[in-house]
Amino acid sequence: MKSLIDPNWMRRLKILLTGALVSTSIFSFRANAVWANPDNNKNPDNNKIATAIQTLKESDQRWIQINLSEQNLIAWEGNKPVYAITISSGKKSTPTRVGTFKIQTKLKKTRMRGIGYDVANVPHTMYYQGGYAIHGAYWHKRFGTPVSHGCVNLAPNHAKWIFEWADVGTPVVVKK
């Protein structure tokens, strides 16, 4: 089967997975243990996110990790990354929420409206908390840059893959 993961991105992921603990990481892949991070004391949600990631990696469950600082999304099956793509998250004035969530609703197409936007036929939309969703974005190609109103934008072909892979109830972990 042909790999759907960008080989350059996976090379960087492989280095991170096999290398030493990176200063921005709050857990060690090698030891599968959660490590203390001074930033965790400032924001207890960081501990919750690190614990959720660790628990999901120890399972066989499908789950989605969104890294806002890296502007990427990784689809996992337990501790195995199966798909990795570049995203566009919320801009500073309309940030993407950080935390642990679950896919609540899946819609093949929907209309999205808010202050300053009204977009029809938004493809492969998966709402995970209120109005926040992972969805295809056919109206821009600035993936890798935060440009959304808080949602996680994917290229339509990638949104379709994630939409077909994930079920309602699939965990979504969004971290900075």
Q: Cα 37 vs. chain centroid, distance in angstroms?
A: 21
- Other C-beta atoms closer than 10 Å to the C-beta of 63 total 23
Q: Which residue, among 45, 78, 58, 84, has the nearest Cα to 174 in the 3D structure?
A: 45
* Alpha-carbon span 155 to 19, nearest angstrom: 30
Amino acid making up residue 119? V
The CA distances from residue 16 to 8, 23, 142, in Å, are: 13, 11, 25
By the 8 A CB rule, do 134 and 65 touch?
no
The residues assigned a catalytic role are 135, 151
Rounded (5°) CA angle 77-80-85: 85
43 in Cβ contact with 151 (< 8 Å): no
